[in-house]
Structure 1
Amino acid sequence: MNDIDAWVWWLVGAAALGIPLVVTAMPEFGMLAVGAVAAAVTAGIGGGIVAQVLVFVLVSVALIAVVRPLANRHARQRPEHATGIDALKGRQAVVLERVDGGEGGRIKLAGEIWSARALDSGQAYDVGQSVDVVDIEGATAIIM
């Protein structure tokens, strides 16, 4: 055991920290693994055990202190571009077939023909009228 260089032990430690990273998906383990790799580099260039531990702690803490807040802020942001059904909500459409309270009709939305029904069952929309899409339920647009 004494024949193995310190940098190898640090790399073994980095690999060992990679296992819980993959199993638990906790990025902190990855940051600790990067700290262990930095300590292995320090050992490889001849740094003593105190320097190795110091580099491990400083790199790990620095990564956790910088990367975690950035990742948390990024996770809270909404996507800039809505896709799918979410992209259709709030858009305008043109009535192609009368939409009234009791029965649905047809609208042209984003270049496609959709079945539609009124949000307010007492409201009716005539052909050619512009309407707003407030929701999508299955293949039916809810308009007002």
Structure 2
Amino acid sequence: MDWIREHLTETWLAIAVMLGVAEMFSLDLVLAMLAAGALAGVATSLVTDLVAVQAAVALVVAVGMLAVVRPGLARRLHKGPELRLGHGKLVGTQGTVTETVSTLTPGRVRLQGEIWTAQPFDETLSIEAGETVEVFEIRGATAFVHPVPRLET
């Protein structure tokens, strides 16, 4: 214990390095913020020999980093393009009706080069062949579609 008190700068630095290495395995940014607090402890140990002051500075910096820096940094690092896979990628796309689509008699639509069984999203509609539709939902192997409004000229 006396060695730690005599080598506080090295102790704080060792703590910071260990937290930094552990952060490389966790990738959660929590340990990195604690390592920043330990580095603040290193800086404080160069100014004063009071352990309580060093610990207080390290604690304040670590909590401040966790509360202020980490949320924005984590949001920025974890933000990326939304990946839509499988049938979900068809939702929002447009296609062409190849066979009349109604609630009583499901029809067919061409979506991105594939023919899909389709029903109208609005059960009161009947959509004729040749109409352009937008996919609102996919349930199983059936696309639920709604006609795309046309501008009359």
SS at 1:62's partner residue? helix
Alignment of 1:61-72 (within 5 A): 61-70=63-72
Equivalences, count: 137
Q: What is the RMSD computed on CA atoms of the aligned residues? A: 3.8
Which residue among 102, 105, 112 is the counterpart of 1:103?
105
CA 1:103–1:8: 2 relative to 1, 3 Å: farther
Query: What's 1:131 paired with?
Result: 133
Q: Give how far 1:109 is off.
A: 1.8
Which residue among 78, 88, 105 is the counterpart of 2:90?
88
Alignment of 1:1-144 (within 5 A): 1-4=1-4, 5-11=7-13, 13-14=15-16, 15=18, 27-40=29-42, 43=45, 46-50=46-50, 52-53=54-55, 55-70=57-72, 74=75, 81=82, 83-84=84-85, 85-144=87-146
Q: Give how far 1:54 is off.
A: 5.5
SS at 1:93's partner residue? strand
Note if contact 1:18-1:33 (Cα within 8 Å) is conserved in structure 2: no
Q: Distance in 2 between matches of 1:113 and 1:125?
A: 16
Unaligned runs of 5+ in 2: 147-153
Query: What's 2:150 paired with?
Result: none
Q: Distance in 1 between matches of 2:123 and 2:64?
A: 59
Alpha-carbon deviations, 1:43-89, whole Å to 9, x = none? Answer: 4xx433346445424532431342245258x39xx976562355432
Equivalent pairs: percent with the same residue?
32
Unaligned runs of 5+ in 1: none
CA 1:31–1:135: 2 relative to 1, 3 Å: same
TM-score between both structures, scaled by the size of structure 1? 0.64
Give the residue type in structure 1 aligned to 2:125.
Q
TM-score between both structures, scaled by the size of structure 2? 0.62
Q: Distance in 2 between matches of 1:79 and 1:26?
A: 16
